Chain A
Amino acid sequence: MRDDMKQIALYGKGGIGKSTTSANLSAALGETGLDILQIGCDPKHDSTRMLMHGAWIPTVLDLVRARGDAGIAMDEVVFRGYAGVRCVEAGGPEPGIGCAGRGIIATFQLLERLGALDGDVIVYDVLGDVVCGGFAMPMREGYAEEVYLITSGELMSLYAANNIAKAIARLSKRSKRTCALAGVICNAKNMEGEEELVREFASRINSTMVAYIPRSRTVTLSELNRQTVMEYAPESEQAGVYRRLAGDIMKNNRTSIPTPLETDELEELAIKFTQV
């Protein structure tokens, strides 16, 4: 692994827009000529779909299940999508059985063995509703050095982000520090006072809001056309937002150890910014 490689992870509540943001971020980075690897770490395996023009690529764990992990080659699990972004989906067991977290660990070990974990930037797109040891693994084992929390102004989404902040705080107490919080991204629902609320939340947990992504019809249209915004509407305002996010993330070298909130603090904060 190269020393100057940037490894970032986007964690957040399910349905909050992690995959959309990750894919557009990867695309924006890829357009600048950087070598990008995006890894979807969610059994739903839809992280890279828009980069792949709607195709469902085979997941690492589907192949492991069918054939064991010995004879798997790099080109069977890594697929090139829009802007040259290399796409991987971890996948998972059938819902309701086995251990998806353990599957994430196995996927990373396999990718490492294949030498796939390289390039200028790796973007990990990780579900944040479950912060079990397996899903925290990209942070714990030093893959995801910079963690970005994605949240809207909705309480449940802030609650999930706060929970992930707890995991980062816990992991940073270890003798060998492996990850840190790099910032909070507000993926807006267009609620009143949302930007201020998320900005305040970020500062309360000892971080900063690095981007405000407004809700936009362009995203919906792009995805209906099975493309990222960067590809479908490169001149749109929304594409500009993602380009700025990509630039800011590349420049960002400020990280912190988060100070997660107690539940009542969080609720109090949400009430303060909500218009009644």
Chain B
Amino acid sequence: MNSKNSQSNSLRYEGCTLTGALSVTTQVQDAVTVIHGPAGCTHHNFSLLHAIAAEQDDIRLPPLVPTALGESEIIFGGEEALAGTLRRVADEGPAAIFVLSTCITETIGDDVLSVCARDHGLPVIPVPTAGFLGGVFSDGLNAALTTLAGLAGNEGVGERTVTVIGEKNLEFEVEENFAEVERLLGLLGVRVGVRFVRKMRFADFSRLGLSSLNILRDPALGPVGEALKRRFGTPYIDSFPIGLEGGVAFLGEAGAILGIDPERAVEAETAQQAEMLSSFADMRGAAVSPDPLTLGSLEYAPVRRVMASLDLKADTGGAGLPLPYSPPVGTAGIRRLLHRWRRRTHA
């Protein structure tokens, strides 16, 4: 019936809050996420999450259930449809249910919070999203991380571990980037406990507060790091290490916070970086032409320094060479970047 399809309405670059929130909540493997809205909102996100997970060799189907509102729920209100869906999902016995609202349920005024607050016999946790009305992808992601951080506890005593926070679950190199952080921490003799939120179990939230150091994926997650610091006094590092110097600085910073002398780790890492660079000596003096806008930005400075040390010339003409969507993490990130460039320049 509503056939308005003007350009200004159809162009939207920053995505929907649902996708951002789902990139977090669907990583709690024993919980189910209910999307309160028309089936289409679920279908679209289900396809996207499933396709990306398959790229990352994860063949699980995303645990998503729609309330699948139709015409009559939109006219009369969808609260009972939500309650019914929650009952059905609860019968399946998940550890918890997350509830995300959409544009339409926000527009017709469903009171999602009060339906969630009823006794369902398991934790039912509303995540403030409201579809496109609620903002963009990053708003949904932050809302989900903040809500889930609110579930953190400090029960029991455990081994001193580090928590990784806010991994970009939809990025292609998510596992590689994590492996690099894990490797660097390994040089200090420290282990990663919880990945908040990637492939975790609902019960893991209860020990989030035991972490001795939180490592944020990027500085935009500052508010989550701050919230956990306020509640549990956990210090945090505000970003994964970017590039070679980032890796070395990360070892120093983590060592200082954890009271571990980083000297031997830094030595080992510096040696490994030199060895890695020398393996690309054949590229010395080559002309590469990465996208100048991305390359020129502040966060890609580590890439520019690597280019300088290998005497790579930035050539503005020719076919652009790919730069990763987010700056390369650690020594391994730089190695993968150079490897890709070498294949392109020799092709």
Contact = CB atoms under 8 A, between A and B. Distances in A.
6 contacts: A65-B72, A65-B75, A92-B75, A97-B108, A98-B108, A99-B107
Interface of B: 1-2, 71-72, 74-77, 79, 107-110
Contacts of A100: 75
Contacts of B110: 97
B72 A69 contact: yes
B76 A93 contact: yes
A65 B71 CA distance: 11
A97 B72 contact: no
B109 A103 contact: no
A98 B74 contact: yes
Nearest to B70: A68
Given A61-B75, A97-B108, A106-B75, 13 more contacts: A61-B76, A69-B71, A92-B75, A93-B75, A96-B109, A97-B76, A97-B109, A98-B76, A99-B75, A103-B75, A106-B72, A133-B2, A141-B1
A102 interface: yes
B291 to A, nearest CB: 43
Given A96-B109, A97-B110, A105 B72 contact: no
Interface string A227-241: 000000000000000
B183 to A, nearest CB: 54
A130 interface: no
* A contact patch SS: loop
A64 B109 CA distance: 20
Nearest to A98: B77
B74 A102 contact: yes
A102 B77 contact: no
A93 B74 CA distance: 10
A94 interface: yes
Contacts of B109: 96-98
Considering residues B1, B75, B108, B109, which has the most beta carbons from chain A within 10 angstroms of its beta carbon? B75
Contacts of B74: 98-99, 102
Contacts of B2: 133
A43 to B, nearest CB: 11
A133 B3 CA distance: 11
Nearest to A69: B72
B77 A68 contact: no
A94 B72 contact: no
Contacts of B75: 61, 64-65, 92-93, 98-100, 102-103, 106
Interface string A62-79: 001100110000000000
Contacts of B71: 69, 102, 106
Contacts of A94: 76-77
Contacts of B1: 105, 137, 141
Contacts of A61: 75-76
Closest 3 CB pairs of A and B: A97-B77, A98-B77, A103-B75
A92 B75 CA distance: 8
A105 B71 CA distance: 10
Considering residues B76, B107, B108, which has the most beta carbons from chain A within 10 angstroms of its beta carbon? B76
B4 to A, nearest CB: 9
Given A93-B77, A98-B77, A68 B108 contact: no
B220 to A, nearest CB: 36
Nearest to B107: A99
Nearest to A101: B75
Contacts of A93: 75-77
A139 to B, nearest CB: 13
B59 to A, nearest CB: 38
A100 B77 CA distance: 10
Contacts of B107: 99
Contacts of A137: 1
Contacts of A69: 71-72
Contacts of A103: 75-76
Interface in A81-102: 92-94, 96-100, 102
A94 B80 CA distance: 13
Contact of B76 (A65, A105, A141): A65
A105 B2 CA distance: 11
Interface string A126-163: 00000001000100010000000000000000000000
A106 B79 CA distance: 20
A64 B74 CA distance: 12
A226 B67 CA distance: 44
Interface in A103-126: 103, 105-106
A117 to B, nearest CB: 17
A100 B108 CA distance: 9
Given A96-B109, A97-B108, A98-B108, A68 B72 contact: yes
A110 B77 CA distance: 19
B210 to A, nearest CB: 44
Nearest to B110: A97
Nearest to A133: B2
Contacts of A141: 1
A163 B71 CA distance: 28
Nearest to B75: A103
Nearest to A97: B77
Nearest to A93: B76
Nearest to B104: A99
Contacts of A98: 74-77, 108-109
Nearest to A99: B108
A94 B111 CA distance: 14
Nearest to B111: A97
B9 to A, nearest CB: 14
B2 to A, nearest CB: 7
B73 to A, nearest CB: 8
B108 A64 contact: no
